[in-house]
Structure 1
């Protein structure tokens, strides 16, 4: 009745004011009078009311409205009550609350990764294992219909910083993040209250009158208007002048597990890794000859493991005597683990939770059997659609390896639009080192001849990687090879081919041809070109000088070290150059 009385009074005042304005117009009888009247009318606040259902349209049978940090979310699949418990849609949880949940719809398994453990639970289960203990839920993870996975709110709240409170009167779930500083205030001023308006305009309709002394939460201020949320879960705008003193609510510390800021490290100086390409078990016996002239290397990465089939079998050509030999000479062994650059096989293995677990189990067994110090993950040619599977796999492999003190490194392309799906920033939180493959700027299938690793290409790759991964974890991969390009014909009829050559082979060919290369400041390399057999040959040389230009970047950006591809292609002098910058 009080509200009706206020409305009647407001209508009466409006009518009275209109009559007065009419009289004013008759007296003035000119354009100035009309202008004054219109200006007065424009300042009169609207007395139109709006129902909360305009903001929060869902009833309980349709689902729950969601007010997320002051904004009403229009979700295609809203939260629902299931068996008396609130269940949150998987997509909402991933997008707004915690993106570490990962669902396998084929095997109906939900995974959750912290930085130190992996949670698994099946659809319909009311318990799960985490950190070695069994935990129970009031309600299970359920797929209400094909493709509509819902997580019980008590599970999500356990692994989220967000506070969630259901307001039954308005059927709204209010979601806030207490780890961010909040602001609240009380309705104040000389008036008995303030109108909570739909929009930031005094001509907008209002939901209700807020009482003086009523507490509201402030989300943002735009000029004279403030976006607020009331205690009952209604959001809208009030005039800034109707709020009293702002009170800052301190942020609370996150309860979520945090990544280790520093990588695992058990060697002096910076990382000086070299890859040793081993293709057969017997080839391991050549390790001593391969390292005859090597100096300063503290980690060797032999190419020992790869996914061999779509079942997830990991093929191994590891040799325990190789590990013993390296350890005796003060070198750690970080065995390379590859997907054999097979996109379809990679898809079949990584999309399956069971197969990912199988791969992880095998790698862990190999690590223990051979006493390995680290694993170097080298998965290339991963399809864009498989990016989420790849990221999840790296996390699931890194977690148990690091728990056993095993260093985890990942080989990564330089940042580019086509490699975003590799998730540098996300996996960088879980691994010890991210090794930039600072080469293959131009490769065998390139549409034009060019450098393998021009200094601009490498510098840009480092700078952009550092936007996503801290320098303490970033390692620069450098090439011991270049490409000799052969161009035949002209224009559209030109054919192009190339071959990769090691540093010594490059100098041999240039000497045989009597070609003297010249230094190209733009690429940071020597460049040579010659004619032979009706073709033009071009090469951007990798040598000690070009290598030093790249090592200057390691020093300038404070990177964790360098990795070289590959042992056997180098000039003997490279080890002195590397050591100079990595000691």
Structure 2
């Protein structure tokens, strides 16, 4: 897979020809509604012939495997497909092997180096006993290059059938699914949630569901509610018992705790609560994770930050999701949602106090549309990356790219003469985030939130990592 940025005057036909790619495969992979209307600055994922295949209407896994001379089992394994029936139009599959026609002067070592695989793997794939004995005109099967393994979590607020269908579609790319959310109550109980479509889809895609608890109440995170629990060990025991009952009943594999705006004086109470939770859940084989605010120093002030003890929680829980997004929040000035320079500032601090193999980097799957000039007290509209590109096309404006934040943006004027500024994510910005995950050696990434159409993300993720399944 390659990423192409549309230039002025380019057509999709020209782009496909330049890459030696299949036009229809590009259309499917990017879910282009109108292939004749490209936007200058728009990024496209370009599937590579002979290495990747985008599912078309009428396809099934067995027919695709047969077409490329591999077994359905091999094709399923390399793509984390647990149920062969769960492939979908537009889904880009990686092929277990590509073909290489040996040229004069080539050796097995040079071929292996060019494809990023070992000589031994090529030998095994082609039953070659003597690596010196290859010849021009011979066709070799080249195994797909090995990729770093990562864990991917996704939060979902759509607990209905539509949300379940999305998990069926993208679940092979997920390690964990976190239906959002159960709220704690002042008596140690938790609210109810009818998230059965999500849980069924997680089982169908071999995705581990995490039960999410928060101190969210009446439209916001409630500091007093958190304090009521964190200052009372008896209520904590009641809460943990109720959580365990829900986990057992619904088949969750772990717990994710998202307590926000906790009073600073409850910092150690929060740590002790987590120790109590781990002591109850670990013996049952259940994981415990937390979601923490994006801090750049241990002394960062503010109600959102002070009670989130990176060092202590890094010791106590199995992993930590850093909420590295919302710099461009709905009530603030227009800016990138997750500027990579700010994300890196958070990671630079986090890795000094949390083991890297416990850090999961938050990644947004959405954008925002602000009215400009910006007026304090106004709220931006949250949009999907797909909708952002459609907006740029509708108003005939080019998409720009900010290299500091590694994020695309554009400005337009609507029919009423109102100016707008839009920041969102595209294939380039996601590549920058995945590069950062690899550079810092992190455990993985966590999406906020499913439900925003962003077809380019999944091929880019797949091109960078193999996602772990438990």
Q: Does 1:472 align with 2:357?
A: yes
**Structure 1 residue 559, shift from structure 2 partner:** 0.5
Match of 2:183 among 303, 306, 324: 306
Match of 1:423 among 289, 306, 309: 309
CA contact (8 A) 1:272 1:578 kept: no
CA contact (8 A) 1:454 1:524 kept: yes
Decide whether aligned partners of structure 1 residues 536 and 328 sit closer, same or farther in structure 2, where only a CA change above 3 A counts.
closer
* Alignment deviations for residues 192-243 of structure 1 (CA, whole Å, 9 cap, x no partner): xxxxxxxxxxxxxxxxxxxxxxxxxxxxxxxxxxxxxxxxxxxxxxxxxxxx
**Structure 1 residue 383, shift from structure 2 partner:** 2.5
CA contact (8 A) 1:438 1:476 kept: yes
**Aligned 1:136-285 pairs, distance under 5 A:** 269-278=149-158, 283=160
| Alignment-derived partner of residue 549 in structure 1 | 432
| Alignment-derived partner of residue 514 in structure 1 | 396
Cα separation, 2, equivalents of 1:494 and 1:574: 32
Q: Does 1:317 align with 2:193?
A: yes
| Alignment-derived partner of residue 498 in structure 1 | 380
| Alignment-derived partner of residue 460 in structure 1 | 345
- TM-score, normalised with respect to structure 1: 0.50
Q: Does 1:530 align with 2:415?
A: no
Q: Does 1:574 align with 2:451?
A: no
CA contact (8 A) 1:270 1:560 kept: yes
* Alignment deviations for residues 546-570 of structure 1 (CA, whole Å, 9 cap, x no partner): 1110110100111111111111214
**Structure 1 residue 531, shift from structure 2 partner:** 3.1
- Greater relative CO (CA pairs within 8 A, separation 6+): 2
Bigger helix fraction: 2
Decide whether aligned partners of structure 1 residues 494 and 317 sit closer, same or farther in structure 2, where only a CA change above 3 A counts.
closer
The alignment partner of 1:538 has SS state of strand
Tell which structure's C-alpha radius of gyration is larger. 1
Match of 1:339 among 215, 222, 225: 215
The alignment partner of 2:169 has SS state of coil
Decide whether aligned partners of structure 1 residues 445 and 385 sit closer, same or farther in structure 2, where only a CA change above 3 A counts.
farther
CA contact (8 A) 1:488 1:535 kept: no
Q: Does 1:483 align with 2:363?
A: no
Cα separation, 2, equivalents of 1:548 and 1:514: 26
- TM-score, normalised with respect to structure 2: 0.61
* Alignment deviations for residues 526-561 of structure 1 (CA, whole Å, 9 cap, x no partner): 121223434431122211211110110100111111
**Structure 1 residue 386, shift from structure 2 partner:** 2.6
Q: Does 1:366 align with 2:208?
A: no
Bigger strand fraction: 1
| Alignment-derived partner of residue 414 in structure 1 | 294
Decide whether aligned partners of structure 1 residues 457 and 405 sit closer, same or farther in structure 2, where only a CA change above 3 A counts.
same
The alignment partner of 1:317 has SS state of coil
- Unaligned 5+ segments in structure 1 are 1-267
RMSD in angstroms over aligned alpha carbons? 2.2
| Alignment-derived partner of residue 136 in structure 1 | none
Q: Does 1:391 align with 2:267?
A: no
CA contact (8 A) 1:455 1:550 kept: yes
The alignment partner of 1:449 has SS state of coil
- Unaligned 5+ segments in structure 2 are 1-147
CA contact (8 A) 1:278 1:304 kept: no
**Structure 1 residue 501, shift from structure 2 partner:** 1.2
Decide whether aligned partners of structure 1 residues 427 and 572 sit closer, same or farther in structure 2, where only a CA change above 3 A counts.
same
The alignment partner of 1:314 has SS state of coil
The alignment partner of 1:315 has SS state of coil
| Alignment-derived partner of residue 257 in structure 2 | 377
